[in-house]
């Protein structure tokens, strides 16, 4: 009997060019290895190795993971950094700044 995994990981990788890559996967270890080994020359991370996994969170479904990935991809670098560092007050401040600018 196969075990069906319902959760996924949303992750942030720091690239050698100081950029962040945000992704979603059902196997964090395997996906990170694909990035680090450079198995796809067309991938964003291919020319930006070495990489460092900085942050990940578990989501209850693939759809929730995809929505969260899209949300994080839309965030500023500063907001992603605050999330990675666990700086909730800075994350709230940056979110409030964004709402005021709209």
Tell whether the model's pLDDT for residue 49 goes beyond 70.
Answer: yes
Structural element, H or E, at residue 81: helix 77-85
Q: What is the per-residue DSSP string for 14-55? A: E-TTS-EEEEEES-HHHHHHHHHHT--TTSTTGGG-S-EEEE
pLDDT confidence tier of residue 3, bands split at 50, 70 and 90: low
* Domains contained in the chain, CATH given: 8-74 (3.40.1440.10)
pTM of the model: 0.88
Residue in 33, 47, 90, 14 with CA at minimum distance from that of residue 22: 14
């Amino acid at each position: 009997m196969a075990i069906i995994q319902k959760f996924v990981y949303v992750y942030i990788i720091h690239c050698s060019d100081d950029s962040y890559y945000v992704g979603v996967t059902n196997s964090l270890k395997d996906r990170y290895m694909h990035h680090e080994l450079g198995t796809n020359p067309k991938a964003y991370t291919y020319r930006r190795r070495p990489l460092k996994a900085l942050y990940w969170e578990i989501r209850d479904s693939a759809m929730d993971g995809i929505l969260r990935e899209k949300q994080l991809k839309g965030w500023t670098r500063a907001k992603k950094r605050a999330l990675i560092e666990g700086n909730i007050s800075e994350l709230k401040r940056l979110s409030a700044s964004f709402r005021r600018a709209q």
